[in-house]
Structure 1
Amino acid sequence: MKPIAQQTILITGSSDGLGKQTALALAKQGATVLLHGRDQQRLEASRQAILEETGNSHVEAYLADFADLSEVRKLAQTLQAQHPRLDMLINNAGIGAGKIAEARRELSRDGYELRFAINYLAPFLLTHLLLPCLRQTPPARIINVGSVGQSPIEFSDVMLERHYDPADAYRQSKLALTMFTFDLAEELKGEQITVNCLHPASLMNTRMVYESLGYALSTVEEGREAVMYLATSPALDNVTGKYFDQRRQARAHSQAYDLAARRRLQQLSEQLTGLSNP
């Protein structure tokens, strides 16, 4: 892998929590760090905080709401124009289950179940659109921030219209992200672009976890160390298509290894995002 100080790295969902802490750690190592968030005020505050703490002037901020796939496309277009070379993409942006007791089924602006849209369809689309940038000067890495919480996809009711549970919605979206990881790794074999997925830590002390459950079991720093391992370890130069539980390779939900299910998900995802079959 190239030295981190020579890399341009995009981290989605980096105005707060795990994404912000990962961005800070990479900026300290001299990387050009591209922050993403959906709230302009929080995003700019995070950029300023990282600039002040690291002295690294190569920290930029990009605004996009992942609940709207048209904004994902605009983000990709902007990045392609301003950073035609990208060395690493960390898909971290996501939405949790919310306040379980008060949760109701919500839709994205495109009419899709909100957690499936933000946690899965948005990174699926963004990653595909940014592949030309990642192919410019390999090697490159794609890291998908998943979860140990995974529920199988019921293809007859992917949008959970018949039975909605916010925890199931979250877990389904994270399993979909893992399935995408395995498929994309196969697609990119031989291109010096690795694709891996990880569960960073259980119930970190983030705003998202506190909103959902009111308590935490681990720290953002623990999760950051796991993400940094996948981002910076030379031992992973040729490791691709794997699921990690923190820093250990682990076994994902069994559906992630079902080739027929993955093919169905890929076809559905291409249809929902407007991507044609490669």
Structure 2
Amino acid sequence: MTEQTILVTGSTDGIGKATAHILSRQGHRVLLHGRDRKKGRGVLAELEAATGSDRLSLFIADLSVQEQVRDLAREVGEACDRLDVLVNNAGVFMPEREVAPGGIEMTFAVNFLAGFLLTHELLGLLKRSTPSRIVNVASIAHRSVGSIDWGNLPGFSSYDAYDAYAISKVGNIAFTARLARALEGTGVTANSLNPGVIDTKLLRAYIHGRDEGAPSEQGAEVVVHLAVSPDAGKVNGGYFEETRWTQPSSLVLNPKVQDRFWEMGLDLTGIGQW
């Protein structure tokens, strides 16, 4: 397999770490991302020892802070002359409401806005590296959302932890679909996926520490498939769940919902236009 340069956000734990492990063993140049430098260095050393790869790099950024998201994109651009795949994997589940800079609820800031902004900031590099891919990790939780109280976003003053998480995943898939339309003909594709119910810190935060869910490696296999398989490279705007391309919820398929998340992303990040 031809070596590719792949950025995996949230790759110091869970599905992201397992994804980085698989990709490194395949011989790709993998750009790790984490929030904590000490932990990140430990994971970097662990993966180098486990895979024998000398093509791993570490980048540190708190994705709840938009300036750090921009710094991450700049640092990647300075370190790499190409980016073949961007995997927006990083995510949180917040049992209690917390607020990121700008008054944006933390789940929404990390799970939706960070990927939106990072994708925008790296799009020039991705276009110079075509054919290239954007892979957004979503969740089956999006199917639980029947409607959205737009007035409650982005601060979620009326807060329910699961609803906030599920809505952020609606945003992931809606953004991916809207982005794919914008990318037609550029050589860059955008797809989203549900990795399954996986035993991660995020799941344990939701189920209060109980040991449930499949191993991280099982979810990572889905991410890797969308990131590097030849078949997945032919798809743009797709949603992958349970080993196949399928349709997300009818809410996510609504062009008005897709456009609403798109415009919200532009407004809250100050991009203005794409």
In which range does the TM-score fall when normalised by the shorter chain?
over 0.9
2:153 alignment counterpart: 158
Q: Which amino acid aligns with 2:183?
A: L
The answer to whether the 8 A contact 1:9-1:88 is kept is yes
Aligned equivalents of 1:264 and 1:211: distance in 2? 29
Aligned equivalents of 2:156 and 2:177: distance in 1? 27
Aligned equivalents of 1:114 and 1:268: distance in 2? 16
2:130 alignment counterpart: 138
2:71 alignment counterpart: 74
Higher mean Cα deviation, 245-254 or 174-183? 245-254
Q: Which amino acid aligns with 2:201?
A: R
The answer to whether the 8 A contact 1:4-1:26 is kept is no
Aligned structure 1 segments of 4 or more residues deviating by more than 6 angstroms? none
Q: Percent identity?
A: 37
Residue ranges of structure 2 left out of the alignment (5+ in a row): none
Normalising by structure 2, what TM-score? 0.94
**Which digits, 9 at most, give the CA deviation of each residue in 1:207-242, with x for residues without a partner?**
221232123132212101111211222112211101
Normalising by structure 1, what TM-score? 0.93
Q: Which amino acid aligns with 1:210?
A: R
1:205 alignment counterpart: 199
1:179 alignment counterpart: 174
Residue ranges of structure 1 left out of the alignment (5+ in a row): none
The answer to whether the 8 A contact 2:99-2:155 is kept is no
Aligned equivalents of 1:72 and 1:246: distance in 2? 31
Aligned equivalents of 1:73 and 1:275: distance in 2? 11
| 1:235 counterpart (231, 238, 242) | 231
The answer to whether the 8 A contact 1:69-1:110 is kept is no
1:263 lines up with 2:259 in the alignment: yes
How far is the alpha carbon of 1:137 from its aligned partner? Answer: 2.4
Higher mean Cα deviation, 87-96 or 74-83? 74-83
Number of residue pairs the alignment of both structures matches: 269
1:43 alignment counterpart: 40
Q: Which amino acid aligns with 1:191?
A: T
1:18 alignment counterpart: 15
**Which digits, 9 at most, give the CA deviation of each residue in 1:2-39, with x for residues without a partner?**
x342x110000000111011001111111111000001
Alignment RMSD: 1.3
SS at match of 2:128: coil
Aligned equivalents of 2:41 and 2:88: distance in 1? 19
1:248 lines up with 2:240 in the alignment: no
1:194 alignment counterpart: 189
Q: Which amino acid aligns with 1:126?
A: L
Aligned equivalents of 1:107 and 1:269: distance in 2? 17
Q: Which amino acid aligns with 1:257?
A: L
Q: Which amino acid aligns with 1:53?
A: A
Aligned equivalents of 1:84 and 1:153: distance in 2? 40
